[in-house]
């Protein structure tokens, strides 16, 4: 499996942080929360992401939607910069880049709460680094969740994973399995099923953007969470895994 190969490419090779693409830096109140975007990539690829990075561009409308939902300047939306295009087996190259980006957010903003918003390979990286002390939650979009992924770092975190039921690049079943294991490990987790959608999130794009923005801002306490998501996050650890799955239609 090569998550993202069918439509994934990233940003400059300089590791660290970038402002949300298309955003402007302007004076105003200091943000009290942050969202870190982690785009997709490939299973393998040690080369730097290309200048024209389609996976990074795919996250642009998500960043804009989150900013609108949260009230603009109330949050900082930043993008992690990868040094390599792929995950690359045990190297797990996006993980240190994500941690570096988180540390950069803390240095810039202080100890504000952070939600990680990642797609595909970026969702896997977000889940891996969720134990960082500033991370409040993870929103994973069609995340890459192979068997045996660690979940202990997700204890006491909110984890909402959205997946299209027609995805053939990353596994909806793998996402549901990870969410159930995370709940048993002490996370507040659930899965949102986006019926009829595939990995690229182009089908039902409006639903993806709006629902992701509301959930992300909701995990930061800036807007109410969709009731179905809020109820699913409150389920006890021994809940039947099927009860932790809600349909996107119930969240709109």
Which pLDDT score is estimated for 60?
A: 97
Which pLDDT score is estimated for 6?
A: 38
Which pLDDT score is estimated for 30?
A: 85
The helix/strand count (H/E) of the chain reads as 7, 8
Which pLDDT score is estimated for 22?
A: 38
CA distances from 189 to 120, 137, 151, 160, 198 (A): 18, 10, 11, 6, 22
Q: With contact defined as beta carbons under 8 Å apart, do 190 and 154 qualify? A: no
Which pLDDT score is estimated for 252?
A: 79
DSSP H helices in the chain:
54-58, 60-70, 94-109, 121-128, 172-184, 205-219, 227-233
pTM of structure? 0.90
Which pLDDT score is estimated for 206?
A: 97
For residue 116, the surrounding DSSP H or E stretch is: strand 114-119
Residues of the chain with pLDDT under 50: 1-2, 4-15, 21-26
Which pLDDT score is estimated for 14?
A: 40
On the CB side of 203, CA atoms within 13 Å amount to 12
Dihedral (CA of 138, 142, 146, 148) sign = positive
Which pLDDT score is estimated for 28?
A: 65
């Amino acid at each position: 499996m090569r998550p993202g190969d069918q439509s994934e490419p990233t940003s400059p090779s300089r590791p660290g942080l970038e402002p949300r693409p298309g955003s402007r830096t302007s004076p105003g109140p200091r943000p009290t929360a942050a969202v870190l975007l982690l785009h997709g990539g490939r299973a393998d690829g040690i080369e730097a992401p290309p200048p024209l990075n389609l996976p990074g561009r795919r996250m642009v409308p998500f960043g804009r939607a989150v900013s609108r939902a949260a009230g603009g300047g109330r949050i900082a939306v930043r993008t992690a910069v990868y040094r390599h295009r792929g995950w690359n087996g045990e190297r797990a190259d996006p993980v240190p880049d994500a941690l570096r980006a988180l540390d950069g957010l803390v240095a810039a903003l202080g100890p504000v709460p952070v939600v990680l918003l990642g797609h595909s390979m970026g969702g896997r990286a977000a889940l891996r680094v969720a134990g960082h002390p500033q991370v409040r939650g993870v929103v994973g979009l069609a995340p890459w969740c192979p068997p045996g992924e660690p979940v202990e770092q997700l204890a006491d975190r909110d984890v909402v994973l959205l997946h299209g039921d027609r995805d053939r690049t990353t596994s909806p079943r793998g996402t549901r399995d990870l969410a159930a294991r995370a709940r048993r490990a002490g996370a507040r987790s659930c899965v949102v099923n986006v019926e009829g959608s595939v990995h690229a999130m182009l089908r039902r794009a409006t639903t993806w953007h709006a629902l992701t923005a509301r959930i992300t801002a909701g995990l930061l306490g800036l807007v109410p969470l969709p009731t179905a998501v809020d109820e699913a996050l409150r389920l006890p650890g021994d809940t039947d895994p099927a009860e932790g799955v809600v349909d996107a239609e119930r969240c709109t």
